[in-house]
Amino acid sequence: MKMNDYIDLINESIDKFMPINYPQKIFKSMKYTVTLPGKRLRPVMCLEACRMFGGNYEDAIPTACAIEMLHAQTLIHDDLPCMDNDDYRRGQLTNHKVFGEAHAVLAGDALLTFAPQTILKYSKNLGSEKLLKIMEEYFQAAGAFGVIAGQVVDIESEKLMQSFEFSGKIDIDKSELEKTLDYIHTHKTADLFKLALRTGAIIADANDEQINTITEFAQNLGVAFQIADDILDETSTFEQMGKTLGKDKEEGKLTYTSLYGLDKAKEDLNKLIANCFEILEKNKLKSEIFEQILNKIMNC
């Protein structure tokens, strides 16, 4: 499969998995953000991981789409006025701007259970043992040990960064900030990448060693992706990214570029991408799709 074939398949499947039931407004609100134009990176990676480990990528379609739903859930709640307060996402108005805050909160809530419900409904052929494993992976990544842990520390880090700048590096150790940033990137970003790749591998009956390998790959790729995002936040335009940029810097947020500077950020990004290529090569894992993704992130 080519990248665009995967993307088309994912978009068609999401449309099928998300009919507009009653009460329509909540289902429309859920679907609005899930179907915003996007690269479908996480579901593509899930399908490709499944294929790469010898599975049938079609078996991973419901799980892949569920991960895109979960990703949309995090976007809807992150964009809320009480969180990042963003009006645009992928060039379109954010969920609460279209449906109102109350519905945006509820649409996010609904997606958190609609996603695994979709897996259970459409993946019965995987058998109950494998389905439970996928549920465990999903809960771990979606909850307070996963993306939410990253989001919470991200919010708290704003204060930390401000006092770091204010105190002129005297009271706060820079290594503390580095550890904090690594924690945020690992959980806020890499955990969903891990979920996509690990569940794809699990569906393909990958063994424990293979799952460890793909987890390490996902950790490197996830952090690389977030560094690229931080770089783009400084160097890109609204038209290119479809969201308001430069806000991180303005708000004194802890990001890779604010902590290490643009040059070191680019250097570390290249290192992480090189690690990813090395992991694929060392383990004789062949995938044009992952090569394309790695090159795209490197050349952000």
Residues found near its own copies in the complex (CB under 8 A): 21-23, 25-27, 30, 73, 77, 80, 82-83, 100-103, 105-106, 108-110, 112-114, 116-117, 120, 128-129, 131-132, 135-136, 138-140, 142-145, 148-149, 151-153, 155-156
Q: How far apart are CA 90 and CA 102, in angstroms?
A: 22
Helix (H) or strand (E) holding 88: strand 88-89
Q: Of the two residues 146 and 222, which places its CB atom closer to its own copies in the complex?
A: 146
Helix (H) or strand (E) holding 258: helix 256-260
Q: Most distant CA pair in the chain: distance in Å?
A: 59
Q: CA angle 259-197-86, nearest 5°? A: 45
The dihedrals phi and psi of 140, each to the nearest 5 degrees, come to -60, -45
Q: Of the two residues 25 and 90, which places its CB atom closer to its own copies in the complex?
A: 25
Q: Of the two residues 29 and 226, which places its CB atom closer to its own copies in the complex?
A: 29
Q: Of the two residues 132 and 286, which places its CB atom closer to its own copies in the complex?
A: 132
3-state SS assignment for residue 89: strand
Q: Of the two residues 124 and 264, which places its CB atom closer to its own copies in the complex?
A: 124
Q: Report the nearest approach of its own copies to the CB of residue 121 (Å).
A: 8
Question: Is the N-terminal amide bond of 81 cis, ω within 30° of 0?
Answer: no
Q: Report the nearest approach of its own copies to the CB of residue 239 (Å).
A: 29
Q: Report the nearest approach of its own copies to the CB of residue 101 (Å).
A: 4
Q: How far apart are CA 216 and CA 136, in angstroms?
A: 19
3-state SS assignment for residue 92: strand
Q: Report the nearest approach of its own copies to the CB of residue 252 (Å).
A: 17
Q: Report the nearest approach of its own copies to the CB of residue 86 (Å).
A: 13
